[in-house]
C-alpha cells in the first residue's frame, strides 16, 4: 500500500495540470460569450472587479500587513531568532576554503587523524554533514579509542536527524572521556540524542546527572522543560522554564542561542507549556 502512494499522487497531479491549463481558456470563452450577448454588462462587471480589487489592495496594504508586522515585532522570540539566524549565516559564510583546500591536499598525500578531524569539523560547523562524516569515520578507524571522532560523528548524525546511529557514538564519547574535560557537553549531547530518539526517561536521567555534576544551563533546562511537557508533567515543565528565566536575570551577557532559548522559555511559560522539538533546542 505504501508503494502505491506516489503513483496516486502523481495521477492526481496529471489530472490537475490540464484543468489548470484549460481553466483560463474556459473563463475567456465565458467572458467573450457575455460580451457578445451584452457588452455593457461585461463593462460593468469589469469596473466592479477593478473597484473591489482596489479596496482589497488598500485593506491589505494599510490594514492587514501593518498589523501582521506589528504582531511579528511584538512576538518575544522574533529578535532573538533573528540574531540566532544571523549568527548561523555568519558562521557558514566564514567557512575557510583555503584551509579546507590545504587540508585536502595534505590528506591526499598522507592521512593523519588531526587533519581528518580538523577538516571534518570545518565541514560540520558549516552544515556540510555529508562531507564531514566520511572524514570523521576515517579518523575513528585510525583511533577507535579516541573520544573526539565519536563526539563529532554523534553531532553530525544528530543534526541529520539520525539518532539511532548517533546514540552508540554519543555513549562511546561519554565513556571514553571519563571524568575528563568536555564531559558536560558530552552528556548534554547524549540527552539530546535520546530525546530525539524518543527515549525520554533516559534523556531525563542524563540531564539529572548533568545537573548534579556540572550544574544547570540554558540548553539542559530547556530540553528538560520540553521533555516534561511532552510527558504531560506541566508543573515540572514550568519549573524548568522558570529556572531559565532566573539564569537570564543573573547573566546579562548571553550568546545568540541563549537569547533564543530564554525567549522560547518565556513564551512557554506564557502559554502554560511548550511544544516538543525533536532536534534543535
The domain segmentation of the chain, as residue ranges, is: 216-281
For the segment 205-245, what is each residue's pLDDT rounded down to a tens digit?
A: 999 999 999 999 999 999 999 999 999 998 999 999 999 99
Q: What per-residue confidence (pLDDT) applies to 238?
A: 92
Q: What per-residue confidence (pLDDT) applies to 28?
A: 59
236 Cβ contact list (under 8 Å, min separation 6): 224, 228
Q: Is the pLDDT of residue 6 over 50?
A: no
Q: Is the pLDDT of residue 277 over 60?
A: no
| C-alpha cell recorded at residue 158 | 544528530
pLDDT band at 203 (very low <50, low <70, confident <90, very high): very high
Name which of 203, 201, 177, 176 is nearest 188 in CA terms. Answer: 203
DSSP per position, 48-115: HHHHHHHHHHHHIIIIIHHHHHHHHHHSTTHHHHHHHHHHHHHHHHT--HHHHHHHHHHHHH---HHH
The predicted model scores a pTM of: 0.69
H helices present in the chain, as ranges: 4-37, 39-59, 65-74, 78-93, 97-109, 113-125, 129-142, 147-159, 163-177, 183-197, 200-214, 218-230, 234-250, 256-270
Amino acid at each position: 500500500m505504501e508503494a502505491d502512494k506516489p503513483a496516486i499522487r502523481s495521477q492526481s497531479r496529471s489530472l490537475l495540470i490540464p484543468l489548470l491549463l484549460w481553466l483560463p481558456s474556459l473563463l475567456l470563452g465565458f467572458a467573450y460569450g457575455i460580451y457578445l450577448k451584452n457588452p455593457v454588462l461585461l463593462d460593468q462587471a469589469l469596473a466592479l472587479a477593478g473597484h473591489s480589487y482596489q479596496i482589497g489592495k488598500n485593506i491589505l496594504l494599510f490594514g492587514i500587513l501593518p498589523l501582521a508586522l506589528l504582531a511579528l515585532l511584538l512576538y518575544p522570540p522574533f529578535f532573538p531568532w533573528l540574531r540566532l539566524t544571523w549568527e548561523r549565516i555568519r558562521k557558514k559564510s566564514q567557512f575557510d576554503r583555503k584551509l579546507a583546500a590545504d587540508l585536502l591536499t595534505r590528506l591526499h598525500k598522507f592521512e593523519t587523524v588531526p587533519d581528518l578531524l580538523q577538516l571534518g569539523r570545518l565541514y560540520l560547523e558549516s552544515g556540510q554533514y555529508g562531507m564531514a562524516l566520511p572524514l570523521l569515520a576515517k579518523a575513528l578507524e585510525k583511533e577507535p579509542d579516541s573520544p573526539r571522532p565519536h563526539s563529532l560523528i554523534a553531532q553530525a548524525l544528530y543534526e541529520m536527524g539520525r539518532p539511532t546511529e548517533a546514540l552508540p557514538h554519543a555513549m562511546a564519547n561519554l565513556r571514553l572521556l571519563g571524568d575528563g574535560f568536555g564531559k558536560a557537553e558530552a552528556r548534554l549531547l547524549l540527552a539530546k540524542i535520546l530525546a530525539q530518539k524518543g527515549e525520554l526517561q533516559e534523556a531525563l536521567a542524563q540531564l539529572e546527572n548533568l545537573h548534579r555534576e556540572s550544574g544547570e544551563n540554558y540548553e539542559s533546562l530547556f530540553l528538560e522543560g520540553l521533555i516534561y511537557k511532552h510527558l504531560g508533567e506541566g508543573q515540572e515543565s514550568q519549573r524548568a522554564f522558570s529556572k531559565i528565566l532566573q539564569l537570564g536575570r543573573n547573566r546579562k551577557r548571553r550568546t545568540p542561542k541563549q537569547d533564543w532559548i530564554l525567549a522560547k522559555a518565556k513564551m512557554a511559560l506564557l502559554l502554560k507549556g511548550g511544544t516538543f522539538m525533536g532536534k534543535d533546542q
